[in-house]
Chains A and B, each alone.
Chain A
């Protein structure tokens, strides 16, 4: 059976009517116990399993997924990858992720289509230009690439944006991160799943965790729809359902779950080169390789577990798009959906012990989980294997809400939600 994806094997299989390709991963029956059980078969859970095997030699690992792989937020985001954050702690975290993404296709032998086409965040007044310069300086001090653009440069790079003189929010310039871009979201989940499976990890789909098993105050396993599974240590990477899972063992979290919506238009000829975010409209957009515009915006205004879109936010995001690029007014939408995101008070993630022995948390990524998949998996694997923080994940411990040492990216990088 052909395992490796390469030009040679593609040619060979092409000549043999593609009969030699096997399944990308197995469908194993759950074993009664594992060294590590990871709840959640999205990007973060699968990446964690991969790095447990690769970096820590732990192969007796299971990933439990209640639906199908990458069917939650991993398959519902707008595929933007970037590290344009303000604080050193965030820069270290998200730039680790971008660096891992840069080598990921080779590392996994799976094309995740990371296209570093760049991202522009526009500025719309003189004060905003000063804040943009501050952002560029902060990013550069943290070792992340950033460039300050004036209006003429933005216009040269993205001529489809509106530069009319009578605009409500005229473009004065922007911040460009050239290493940012987009990836293929399903491929990230599938690539990690395939590589983790090849390393011996059991990926068990259609297996919902119903309860966590506590013995003498320690989490020792999970009850699932496919029976009891014991674990040396349990890791939860369940995004929007983190509060529900932690609630099973009486742990309260500083998390509110919201729906975050996204939209894809009909395919168009190329109109947009990069990812563009215009903060006053709360809308950002990129163009996929198929030509569809991938459009995102801010959070819904109401806490929700309903994975579907609604009208008020659709109106806001699309009216923002038609202000940004009036030429797109008549473009039709193909799809419209929502994922449930886990938002923390400081818009930074929670990585670390849950407070219950044997249970670790990877959550709170909010609206930015996709870009952080490699770093989240890398650092969570370290936590589960070593039981202690990696230096990069330490600032994101749950205890920061007690000490007050928040990493407030919500305020600092002006996250639009």
Chain B
């Protein structure tokens, strides 16, 4: 099994981790209405990049969400960091 780094618990078995989604998707401001196309883009569209990706993952034993950077072809882990810093 591959070892993934949790920023809080350290290196752990990949089966303890859950992929949550791509990083950087922000919900459209719905106060003034959102077009169907924009809403559909928010709901469904994925960057689905080949190569270096930045994603939100959860380490299930500690239930913490964090940012995992990895290569989507080689599966090599590039880095992991707490979500709090990335969101700012």
Contacts and interface: CB of A to CB of B under 8 A. Distances in A.
Interface residues on B, range: 20 to 34
Contact of A312 (B14, B37, B45, B73): B14
Nearest to A246: B48
B8 interface: no
Interface residues of A, number: 23
A306 B74 contact: yes
A221 B44 CA distance: 28
Contacts, number: 64
Contacts of B43: 345, 401
Nearest to B36: A402
A310 interface: yes
Interface string B49-68: 11101010000000000000
Contacts of A253: 45-46, 48
A402 B72 contact: no
Contact of B75 (A243, A301, A304, A403): A304
Contacts of A403: 36
A258 to B, nearest CB: 10
A132 to B, nearest CB: 30
A27 to B, nearest CB: 28
Contact of B45 (A252, A302, A304): A252
B44 A301 contact: no
B12 interface: no
Interface in B1-57: 1-2, 14-15, 18-19, 36-37, 40-41, 43-51, 53, 55
Contacts of B75: 302, 304, 306, 310
Contacts of A244: 48, 50
A311 B73 CA distance: 16
A312 B49 CA distance: 23
A252 B36 contact: no
A303 B15 contact: no
23 contacts: A241-B50, A243-B50, A252-B45, A252-B47, A254-B40, A254-B44, A255-B48, A257-B48, A257-B72, A302-B19, A303-B19, A304-B73, A304-B75, A306-B75, A311-B2, A312-B1, A345-B44, A401-B40, A401-B44, A402-B36, A402-B37, A403-B36, A404-B40
Given A255-B46, A304-B73, A402-B36, 13 more contacts: A254-B46, A257-B48, A257-B50, A301-B19, A303-B48, A303-B72, A304-B72, A310-B2, A310-B75, A311-B2, A345-B44, A401-B43, A402-B40
